[in-house]
Amino acid sequence: MYNMKKVGMRGVFVIRIEDDFDLEKIADSGQCFRWQRDGDGFRIPFRDSLLFIRKVGPQDYEVDCTEEEFDSIWRPYFDLVRSYRAIRGKIKKKDDPVLFEAAKLGQGIRILKQDPWEMLITFIISQRKNIPAIRQAVEAVCRAAGKKKTAKDGTEWYMFPSAEEIASLSDEALASCRLGYRDKYVRAAAEAALRGEIDFQKLSALSHEDCLVELQKLYGVGIKVAQCVSLFGLHHLDAFPRDVWILRVLDEVYDGGKNYRFDAYAPYNGVMQQYLFEYYRNKDAREVSV
DNA sequence: CACCAGGGCGCAT
DNA sequence: ATGCGCCATGGT
């Protein structure tokens, strides 16, 4: 626990996180679509838990769970046992000034350990959508099929639905989530899961490459979605999803990717991908405001 | 191996 | 009001 020590304890307590950790940047990084801004903090749903977390000092965060819950659920979720500062330190300015700058601006981004089933459905839904639209569609699916929960403070929220819950939706109910042509992919994935054809335990034990091959056997899952599930759901940190922004930066800066040093950053190419994604997606806005 | 359709929303114009 | 583009994929 080199990057975290507790400062107090109660149902609400404050933890100190000394490693790279920036809630705003993680929330904006396109890996989680259900975080909700609440006052000066965030409400974060994960499986059957809801965490409220807010920054109360340079490295201090107030959380509304017990210490045991933080250690068993949220510390793994935030991947706090790993040093992202050390990963960032692998980037040398002279080798790659663009990635160096991206990582400087993206300091604080981490790769969350999210639920693989949720990631599969979420990234199937994500195709050809922008981030606000993904948020809306995912929330609609949760409201239509997920279990309703009430947090300790009375906040009502919906769990991400299981395969059974999604499969049991009528065509009309699923259509009401406005997933467009993706609804058939979502239904197919739920039915495949019910037939026992998706075993995330087995997938996470496979090599990253074999894992991608297996995921792509699912209807509606191509290389991009497979990489996202692998990175954000199975925590294969070398997975490198290529969305339009990454293809753009590879094309414009790295000669179509030929000059990008994948070998130098293995097995953390996925972390670098997050820095580049964030950097390039916000490039225009940054240039206008500066 | 190239297109191309298919939904719907965010966002700039 | 209107068109363009979005963390793609399957079909032809």
Protein-proximal positions, strand B, CB < 7 A? 6-11
pLDDT tens column, A194-205: 999 999 999 999
Distance A182 CA to B6 C1' (A): 9
pLDDT tens column, A89-103: 999 999 999 999 999
Mean local confidence (pLDDT), A78-98:
97
Strand C lies under 7 A from the Cβ of residue A245: yes
pLDDT tens column, A27-64: 999 999 999 999 999 999 999 999 999 999 999 999 99
Distance CA A217, CA A72 (A): 33
In sequence order, the 6+-apart residues with CB closer than 8 A to the CB of A137 are A125, A129, A177, A178, A179
For residue A48, give the nearest of A31, A72, A67, A30 by alpha carbon: A72
A56 class by beta-carbon count within 10 Å (0-12 exposed, 13-18 middle, 19+ buried): middle
Distance CA A285, CA A288 (A): 5
Identify each DSSP E strand in chain A by its residue range: 4-6, 13-17, 36-38, 41-46, 49-55, 60-63, 148-150, 156-158
Place of tokens 């599930």: A229
User: Coil, helix or strand for A153?
Assistant: coil
- pTM of the full structure: 0.94
Distance A219 CA to C11 C1' (A): 13
Identify the active-site residue in A93, A148, A149, A224.
A224
**What pLDDT band is residue A153 in, cutting at 50, 70 and 90?**
confident
Nucleotide with C1' nearest the A231 CA:
C7
Encoded tokens for A43: 């409400």
Strand C lies under 7 A from the Cβ of residue A29: yes
Nucleotide with C1' nearest the A135 CA:
B9
Give the whole-number percent of chain A exceeding pLDDT 70.
95
Distance CA A25, CA A61 (A): 15
A1: pLDDT strictly greater than 60: no
Phi, psi angle pair for A33, to nearest 5°: -120, 5
Whether A224 is a known active-site residue: answer yes
Residue A159: DSSP 8-state? P
More confident residue, A202 or A6: A202
Inter-residue contact A113 to A77 (CB < 8 Å): yes
Distance CA A214, CA A205 (A): 12
